[in-house]
Amino acid sequence: MHIMQLNSGHTMTRTAIVFTLLSAILLTGCTDSVKSMKTEYSGSGGMTRWNIDPVAYLYHYQNGFTGSDALGYDEQLQTVWSRLGAALTCNIDYDKQAMIRLLVQRFGEKPVTHELNGIGFHSVQSRKVPGFCNDSRKKEINKAIIRYRQSRFG
* Residue 36, in any domain of the structure: no
Q: Give the Cα-Cα-Cα angle 68, 84, 97 (nearest 5 degrees).
A: 115
Residue 18 shares a structural domain with residue 91: no
Nearest to 77 by CA among 44, 114, 48: 114
Taking the model in full, what pTM does it have? 0.72
Q: pLDDT tens digit string along 100-130?
A: 999 999 999 999 999 999 999 999 999 999 9
* Residue 154, in any domain of the structure: no
Q: Could you give the CA distance from residue 152 to residue 154 in angstroms, rounded to a whole number? A: 6
Residue 75 shares a structural domain with residue 11: no
Q: How many domains does the chain contain in total?
A: 2
The chain-wide mean pLDDT, for the chain, equals 81
Kindly report the backbone phi and psi dihedral angles of residue 42, in degrees, each rounded to the nearest multiple of 5, phi listed first. Answer: -75, -20
Structural domain span for residue 137: 42-149
* Residue 89, in any domain of the structure: yes
